[in-house]
């Protein structure tokens, strides 16, 4: 691996074109134990937030409670679904009776008490909005609907400049006055009038975190959670292998590396104590007059981003944080986004799509220093990954 400095001082890396894979390892390996050999492998799945979820885990033997394996699995299925249902009930813009929709419909000049989970997500969203000076904004609901990416449904044409300006005028995180209650569990938020919250860019990651908390409370020693492409993993399998997760590259890469630059085939992550969230412009978009409009909207301008950053992947212990950061970096763009990831010491991989004079796409990768520190490309690790044929391939879905 070769590293270089850009003019902005951000460390980037170019990988040899003949490499087949990169392996990323967590820097912290505390409490890493394999489950008992007699543990049962369990694969649970369901639907939530307009997508699917899957949880793979190893269930240790019952410790004298005389509960059947079927009953224990049923309890876990119901418990996981309950965590995700809570997020929907509080934060879904598709549910008219959710706490979020009640706030969005509220009269101007009113304060509203919010439940604990809602508060956790909103507090972090406001923190990120302040850090990015509005590149990330939880009050983006009007713009999401206007461009056809919200609960209002798809659109067939671009909105007018007047419509965009009107939606931008209603998008302002600074107008969201929020105060925490003394019990530290609830909070109150002020509806200035017409403010529409949209927490989709972080609520799904928060749901992953809730499931992880639930599994830890049930003393599950090893698990891999996936909700709509966002992941969080913990522990090892009985064969002492971690949960290997393979990240997907953007589609349309050139296959002949002798003529065009091809980005690395695959990044394989040992997911212990880590979450992964990705945002890409190739999953949700629409085209008008051969111009593609991504679902990633810059709340400061009101328009979908057009800077060529086609994929962002963030690794962080908390999936809510990774989820929100993937969106924020996607809005900030290749240079500012990478600088922001570096300032936070967050592991991030950015893929930029550029077109030459003939209209051919070319790709380049950038990495934060924290991402580079996780890389290990030794042959022994490649052999270890090759020996494990049950890698989970996860597409880089939208945040």
What average pLDDT score do residues 305-323 get? Answer: 94
Q: Is the pLDDT of residue 99 over 80?
A: yes
- Assess whether pLDDT exceeds 80 at residue 138: yes
Please enumerate in sequence order all residues whose Cβ is within 8 A of that of 217, keeping only pairs 6 or more positions apart, or say none. none
Q: What is the pLDDT of residue 389?
A: 43
What is the mean pLDDT of the segment spanning 150-158?
Answer: 86
In this structure, of 63-72, 157-166, 272-281, the range with the lowest mean pLDDT score is: 63-72
Residue 4 pLDDT:
34
- Kindly list the structural domains of the chain, giving each domain's residue range(s) and its CATH number in brackets, ordered by start: 98-201 (1.10.3980.10)
What's the CA gap between 371 and 344, in Å, rounded?
12
- Distance, CA of 229 to CA of 280 (rounded, Å): 11
6-64 residue pLDDT tens: 322 223 333 333 346 789 999 887 777 889 989 999 999 999 999 999 999 999 998 76
Lookup: tokens for 244:
């290997």
**Residue 303 pLDDT > 50:** yes
What confidence category does residue 287 fall into, taking pLDDT thresholds of 50, 70 and 90? low
Mean pLDDT check: name the lowest of 78-87, 190-199, 283-292, 318-327: 283-292
3-state secondary structure 31-76: CCCCCCCCCEEEEEEEEECCEEEEEEEEECCCCCCCCCHHHHHHHH
Q: What is the pLDDT of residues 235-281, one digit of tens each?
A: 999 999 999 998 877 766 543 333 344 555 678 999 999 999 998 87
Higher per-residue pLDDT: 201 or 6? 201
> Does the pLDDT of residue 85 top 70, yes or no?
yes
Lowest mean pLDDT among 78-92, 166-180, 242-256: 242-256
> What pLDDT digit, counting tens, does each position of 322-361 carry?
999 999 999 999 999 999 999 999 999 999 988 787 778 8
pTM: 0.86
* Residues in the chain, total: 399
C-alpha span between 55 and 211 (Å, rounded): 9
Confidence (pLDDT) at 3: 33
The pLDDT-based confidence of 145 (bands split at 50, 70, 90) is: very high
**pLDDT score of 218:** 96
* Tokens 């009113």 found at: 110
Q: What is the pLDDT of residue 15?
A: 35
Q: Give the pLDDT of residue 1.
A: 30
Provide the percentage of residues in the chain whose pLDDT is more than 70: 82
Average pLDDT score over the chain = 85
* Sequence-distant (≥ 6) Cβ neighbours of residue 313 within 8 angstroms: 247, 267, 276, 277, 278, 326, 348, 349, 396
Cα dihedral 13/225/121/10 (nearest 10): 0
Predicted pLDDT of residue 105: 97
| pLDDT class of 289 with cuts at 50, 70, 90 | low
pLDDT tens digits, residue range 105-119? 999 999 999 999 999
pLDDT tens figures, 351-397: 998 878 777 888 889 999 999 999 975 433 344 444 344 545 444 44
For residue 291, the model assigns a pLDDT of 67
End-to-end Cα spacing for the chain: 29
Q: What is the pLDDT of residue 17?
A: 32
Q: What is the pLDDT of residue 134?
A: 96
Q: Which residue did the predictor score with more confidence, 246 or 294?
A: 246
Rounded CA separation 295/144 (Å): 8
Please list the alpha-helical segments (H only) found in the chain.
69-91, 99-105, 116-132, 141-146, 161-169, 200-217, 319-332, 334-344, 369-373, 379-387
Give the whole-angstrom CA distance, residue 126 versus residue 118. 12
């Amino acid at each position: 691996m070769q590293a270089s400095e850009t003019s902005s001082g951000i460390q980037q890396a170019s990988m040899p074109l003949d490499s087949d894979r990169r392996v990323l390892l967590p820097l912290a390996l505390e409490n890493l134990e394999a489950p008992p050999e007699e543990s049962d492998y369990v694969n649970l799945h369901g639907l939530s937030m307009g997508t699917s979820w899957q949880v793979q885990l190893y269930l240790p033997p019952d410790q004298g409670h005389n509960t059947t394996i079927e009953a224990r699995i049923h309890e876990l299925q119901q418990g996981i679904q309950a965590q995700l249902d809570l997020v929907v009930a509080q934060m879904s813009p598709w549910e008219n009776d959710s706490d979020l929709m009640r706030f969005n419909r509220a009269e101007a000049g009113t304060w509203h008490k919010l439940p604990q989970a809602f508060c956790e997500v909103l507090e972090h969203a406001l923190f990120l909005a302040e850090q990015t000076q509005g590149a990330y904004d939880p009050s983006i609901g009007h713009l999401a609907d206007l461009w056809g990416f919200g609960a209002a449904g798809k659109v067939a044409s671009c909105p007018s400049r007047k419509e965009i300006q009107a939606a931008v005028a209603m998008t302002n995180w600074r107008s969201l006055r929020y105060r925490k209650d003394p019990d530290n569990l609830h909070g109150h938020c002020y509806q200035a009038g017409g403010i529409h919250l949209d927490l989709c860019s972080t609520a799904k990651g928060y749901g992953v975190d809730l499931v992880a908390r639930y599994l830890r409370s049930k003393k599950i020693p090893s698990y891999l959670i996936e909700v709509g492409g966002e992941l969080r993993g913990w522990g090892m399998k009985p064969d002492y292998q971690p949960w290997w997760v393979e990240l997907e590259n953007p589609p349309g890469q050139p296959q002949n590396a002798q003529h065009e630059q091809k980005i690395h085939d695959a990044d394989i992550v040992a997911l212990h104590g880590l979450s992964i969230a990705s945002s890409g412009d190739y999953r949700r978009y629409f085209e008008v007059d051969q111009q593609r409009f991504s679902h990633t909207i810059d709340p400061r301008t009101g328009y979908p981003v057009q800077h060529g950053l086609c994929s962002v992947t963030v690794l962080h212990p908390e999936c809510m944080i990774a989820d929100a950061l993937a969106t924020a970096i996607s809005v900030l763009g290749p240079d500012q986004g990478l600088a922001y990831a570096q300032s936070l010491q967050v592991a991030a991989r950015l893929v930029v799509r550029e077109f030459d004079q003939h209209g051919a796409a070319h790709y380049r990768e950038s990495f934060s220093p924290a991402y580079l520190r996780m890389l290990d490309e030794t042959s022994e690790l490649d052999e270890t990954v090759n020996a494990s044929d049950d890698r989970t391939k996860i597409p880089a879905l939208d945040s």
